[in-house]
Structure 1
Amino acid sequence: MSGIICSLSDFFLVFSEQKTTLADVWQASLALFMTKKIGMSLPTIVAPGGSYQKALTAARYGAEEVYMGVPFTSLRMRQNKIGDFTQLKETIDAVHALGTKALLTMNIFPRNMDIKIFEATVEKIADVGADAIIFSDPGTFHVLRKYLPNTPLHLSTQTSTMNYSAVQFWYDMGVKRVVLARELHLEEIKEIKKQVPGMELEVFVHGAMCMSYSGRCLLGDYMNGRPGNKGECSHACRFGYKVWIEEERRPGKLMQLEEGEDGTNYILSSRDLCTIEKLQEILPYVDAMKIEGRSKSEFYVGAIVKAYKHVRDAILQGKPIDPEIQDLVNQVPHREYWSGFLFNDLKNFPETESFTTKTSPGPLFNRNYFGIIEDEQVEIEGELYARFTPKEVIEVGTELSYLTPKAKGKLTITGIRDAKGKVLEKGTCNTPGILIKADFPLEGGTLLYQKM
């Protein structure tokens, strides 16, 4: 074995070429031993932090890296709840305190009028403590290198990087990591890792998919003047459409294409990506596993991070996977799942399957998330209450499931008071800062939900 193995993915790559499988418990245990002994890095979990609370949740539930939007320069500007640079610094400091890295997304495709704003924004974030910047445009790369010469740069999936020659180009330019296009097959990723072993490779393993090539969509621009490539995606692909066709020899005779009972089609709405059952095949070839979802809830972030971290660690340590923790991916709202392009050959894609949701978006709008327990605890009449803002109506006697970074189970709400301590029978949706207690003390960061 020649050369220096600089990451766990390099280690696995060498052994996989010798026909040693990841399923082998001995290899997984050895990999973990080597990680501890010579400083190799595990494939990290990169989780969304669309707000201070979501970023904190991602860090608490086990993400090694959290990505968050920078005002004016992120492709999720409308969903970004980190509204100013002071709050951005507070969020970065909070995740750093938990040992998690903060990656800042500045991946818009700016036009001439946007360059000055981009430059001014880069100057403002120079001292916020970012561990890396995610960018898309070569022009913004130039600006970032000018103002932040020592900050690691990650290339966004928006650039649709799909081959080892492109990866080599960015490696030669000094980019540390490439977030590969979602459209790649795992075999192609293996070849990229083999050809450019020094580049960190990040792939999406879970979350929403886009009907356009790596998210480079013009549909919102056309329909309502909201450019997705500048952070204002209107999610027009998720709407239900009624479609009619006309045969050229029968002008005026329209025939409706129907999927749902009401004739509605979700012909543009991609399924959601879920690879948790195939992580064993992915781990050897990637350095980072990305979870989509900056606009999703704290429950989504915490549950998905916990599930993927558990399965990843179980595989690498040769331990059994807890099916209830893995099943957390089915407890959050989602569209129909599939394993994406990583494991599906387009040339041989089954005619009975579809890339899109069929008759409905799946359990996307299930209202089973009740909220997150805040850090503040209040003692009233000798009893400990937790501060809480309910997402749904909650009553004394309500039975809920709970999730923490280290535990899961069921509880019963035994008391509710308003923000000033007055006894209530129920808390209404989005009433800020009510106080609740359960049949045991509730710690900050606990997620409350009803199991589906």
Structure 2
Amino acid sequence: MRDTELPLHAIELLAPARDADTGIAAIDHGADAVYIGGPAFGARQAAGNAMEEIRRLCDYAHRYHARVFMALNTLFKDDEIEKARSLAFEAAKAGVDVLIIQDMGLLQGPLPDIELHASTQCDIRTPEKCAFLEKVGFSQIVVARELDLDAIRACRQALRKTRIEYFVHGALCVSLSGRCYMSEAMLGRSANRGACAQLCRLPYDVYTENGQRLATRSHVLSLKDNNQSANLEALIDAGVSSFKIEGRLKDIDYVKNITAYYRQAIDRILARRPDLCRSSDGRTRTTFTPDPAKSF
């Protein structure tokens, strides 16, 4: 086990960071880990960061044994693999603890001695896929957010030491995780290349095959935001070790509010569950009452 790898009973709150300042704010408001985009190849093209900024975030996070994940989770073209590999080594040198990966081609050559996490873009929904990802070296996997408790439990039973990460808050895709091709088909902007146009958020007119109008300018493809705060303990008991907040494009106020909200919810569970522990050493006290209804 690498120094940064966590046991299954260490519960992690993982917050998004569009930049270093947002990541630092997330840690200040209770995050055990943050995930951030690097200079290239992140699944959010608009949320890239220079490596020096990531180094600054790592230096701050490590004071509290918090971890920094860097998203390297697009699909690569053949002529991009070596650049992506070079970024992986730069990230490790900057202090990044974890690389989030989608493209298995990156595993076919040398990588730094760093934790690898399988991205939500990998569409992880079966025990067989979980077992495969553990076998090839992933220490944490983001299972599909469409899974119910029984499916998560089945994934947990297929794993030995690899931890399960699960999205508990934020936007939901109308498609299956990592398998939406709407943006690519309509605009040539691939979600798996970090360029999703989020066409599912737009209003549409809906017609039957006979031409009867069923809806006018309706957001029929835009799902309500995810909020699993009432189900955290059930998710823990099903096998989830890392609770992930969606939103690398969200502003700093959103991240502060939602991170503090989940920090308090998780701490209430940890206070009465001696079999569990927090994954970082930071302790936080907020001067406001976090409310997920106040930021989107």
**TM-score, normalised with respect to structure 2:** 0.87
Alpha-carbon distance, 1:246 to partner: 4.3
1:222 to 163, 185, 191: 185
Shift in Å, 1:60: 0.6
Question: In structure 2, how many angstroms separate the alpha carbons of the residues matched to 1:174 and 1:215?
Answer: 20
* Alignment correspondent of 1:72: 40
Pick closer, same or farther for the CA change 1:327–1:85 going to 2, 3 Å: closer
Other-structure match for 1:345? none
- Larger Rg over CA atoms: 1
Does 1:159 pair with 2:116?
no
Q: Is 2:265 the counterpart of 1:311? A: yes
Residue 76 of structure 2 aligns to a residue in which SS?
Answer: coil
Alignment of structure 1 residues 121-270 onto 2, 5 Å: 121-143=87-109, 146-148=110-112, 150-247=113-210, 254-258=211-215, 263-270=216-223
Q: Which structure's relative contact order is higher, taking Cα pairs within 8 Å and 6+ residues apart?
A: 2
Task: Trace 1:420-431 onto structure 2 (pairs within 5 A).
Answer: none
Q: 1:178-229 CA distances to partner (integer Å, 9 max, x unpaired)? A: 1111121111111222332322111111111111210332222223222111
Q: Deviations over 1:365-405 (max 9, x none)?
A: xxxxxxxxxxxxxxxxxxxxxxxxxxxxxxxxxxxxxxxxx
Measured against aligned partners, the alpha-carbon deviations of 1:10-41 in whole angstroms (never above 9, x if no partner) come to xxxxxxxxxxxxxxxxxxxxxxxxxxxxxxx2
CA distance in 2, matches of 1:246, 1:156: 38
Structure 1: distance between partners of 2:136 and 2:289: 39
CA RMSD, aligned part only? 2.1
Q: In structure 2, how many angstroms separate the alpha carbons of the residues matched to 1:266 and 1:75?
A: 24
Higher helix proportion: 2
Matched to 1:313, the amino acid is D
Q: 2: distance between equivalents of 1:312 and 1:194?
A: 23
Q: Which amino acid aligns with 1:107?
A: N
- 230, 236, 249: which one pairs with 1:283? 236
Maintained 8 Å contact 1:71/1:85:
yes
- Aligned partner of 2:54 in structure 1 is 88
- In the alignment, structure 1 residue 46 sits paired with structure 2 residue 14: yes
Is contact 1:60–1:98 with CA below 8 Å preserved after alignment? no
CA distance in structure 2 between the partners assigned to 1:326 and 1:168 by the alignment = 41
Partner of 2:249: 295
Once residues 133 and 210 of structure 1 are traced to their aligned partners in structure 2, the CA distance between those partners, rounded to angstroms, is 23
Q: Which amino acid aligns with 2:212?
A: M
What's the secondary structure of 2:226's corresponding residue? strand
How far did 1:162 drift? 1.4
**Amino acid in structure 1 at the alignment position of 2:271:** Q
Cα distance change, pair 298–113 in 1 and its aligned pair in 2 (3 A): same
| Separation in 2, partners of 1:280, 1:85 | 36
Q: Distance in 1 between matches of 2:247 and 2:185?
A: 24
Q: Which amino acid aligns with 1:163?
A: T
Q: Distance in 1 between matches of 2:290 and 2:255?
A: 14
Matched, 1:113 2:82: no
Letter in 2 for 1:193: R
Q: What is the CA distance between 1:121 and its match in structure 2?
A: 2.3
Deviation at 1:269, TM superposition (A): 1.0
Give the Cα separation in 1 of the matches to 2:252 and 2:198.
Answer: 21
- Displacement after TM superposition at 1:176 (Å): 0.7
Counterpart in 2 of 1:20? none
Identity over the aligned pairs, expressed in percent? 28
Question: Structure 2 matches for 1:20-35, cutoff 5 A?
Answer: none
Between the aligned partners of 2:89 and 2:24, the Cα distance in structure 1 is 25
| SS class of match (1:257) | strand
Q: Which residue of 2 aligns with 1:18?
A: none
| DSSP 3-state at the match of 1:109 | coil
Shift of 1:291: 0.6
